[in-house]
Amino acid sequence: MPKIKCKKVTWEEVEEWSRIVSDKVYSSGWTPDVVVAISRGGYVPARLVCDRLVVGELVSLQISHWPSAAQMAKEAGVRTPLYCNMGGKKALIVDDIADTGESLIIAKDHVWTNCRPEAIRIASLQWISGSSKIRPDYYAEEVRGWIWYQYPWSRLEDIIGFVKKVVEENPGKELWSIEELIRGVREWYGVEFDRWFFERALDKLASKGFLKRDGDRIIAKV
């Protein structure tokens, strides 16, 4: 059994979940005039929701929350703010997942304060009901147990974090092969990825000084 529960999300699932969210918004009779994407995870779902609801205005703000794959930052905050006039408009804030809910809470407060819309509602593809501090107005799935959703738009980024975790959890091991790291990620997270992602992840980690590469040999520098 994996030590950290992880779901590898497909593009087909993203499209289906975005359709479900859009259908729920449509069926509620509440039509947004502007969609606000929470950067970066909310970019793709927000654009799909815009298309399915035929909303032409899409803006974004960035919230810092998760520093690495399956690791929580101590505090969440606005990294890239949003300042615009939404007077008389209804705004729908969209993110990929409501896990702690802090990103959605901060985004909603920020939009209220700085953009002054007539009304705000929030949406996400997943809502982890046991840990989120807020329940989205619209969501595709309720998730009752904690799980790390590995979305396709953060594939390489997450794998870099996965590889770091595997190496850090084995401080006495200095030499690794790519095959060992691939196996380690599979054992820790229960998911598999193409070798290309590991090659690129190792190049990135080497450039940051986390490890060294000597051909197919990886030398940990933890």
CATH number of domain containing 81: 3.40.50.2020
Query: Looking at 101, 117, 150, which one is the last position of a domain?
Result: 150
Tell me how far apart the alpha carbons of residues 218 and 207 are, in angstroms, rounded to a whole number.
Answer: 13
Q: What is the pLDDT of residue 1?
A: 77
Q: Are residues 24 and 132 in the same domain?
A: yes
Q: Are residues 141 and 166 in the same domain?
A: no
Report strand pairing: 175-177 vs 217-220.
Answer: antiparallel
Q: Are residues 84 and 138 in the same domain?
A: yes
- Structural domain including 110 reads 6-150
Asked if residue 14 is part of any domain, the answer here is yes
Tell me how far apart the alpha carbons of residues 111 and 15 are, in angstroms, rounded to a whole number.
Answer: 26
Query: Looking at 150, 165, 192, which one is the last position of a domain?
Result: 150
pTM of the full structure: 0.90
Q: Are residues 136 and 49 in the same domain?
A: yes
Q: Is the dihedral of CA 53, 126, 167, 68 positive or negative?
A: positive
Half-sphere exposure of 25 (CA within 13 A, CB side): 34
Half-sphere exposure of 111 (CA within 13 A, CB side): 30
Are the beta carbons of 35 and 46 closer than 8 angstroms?
A: yes
Are the beta carbons of 162 and 182 closer than 8 angstroms?
A: no
Question: Which pair of structure tokens corresponds to residue 26?
Answer: 């449509």
Q: What is the pLDDT of residue 65?
A: 64
Residue 140 φ then ψ, to 5°: -90, -40
Asked if residue 1 is part of any domain, the answer here is no
Per-residue confidence in pLDDT tens, the chain, 222 aa: 788 999 999 999 999 999 999 999 999 999 999 999 999 999 999 999 999 999 999 999 998 865 555 554 445 788 888 899 999 999 999 999 999 999 999 999 999 999 999 999 999 999 999 999 999 999 999 999 989 999 999 999 999 999 999 999 999 999 999 999 999 999 999 999 999 999 999 999 999 999 998 877 899 875
Question: What residues have CB less than 8 Å from 60, skipping those under 6 apart?
Answer: 36, 37, 38, 39, 42, 43, 46, 80, 82
Q: What is the pLDDT of residue 68?
A: 55
How many other C-beta atoms lie within 10 A of the C-beta of residue 19? 14
Q: What is the distance in angstroms between the CA of the first residue and the CA of the last residue of the chain?
A: 26
Q: Are residues 207 and 104 in the same domain?
A: no
Q: What is the pLDDT of residue 199?
A: 95
Are the beta carbons of 140 and 20 closer than 8 angstroms?
A: yes
Q: What is the pLDDT of residue 73?
A: 47
The count of structural domains within the chain is 2
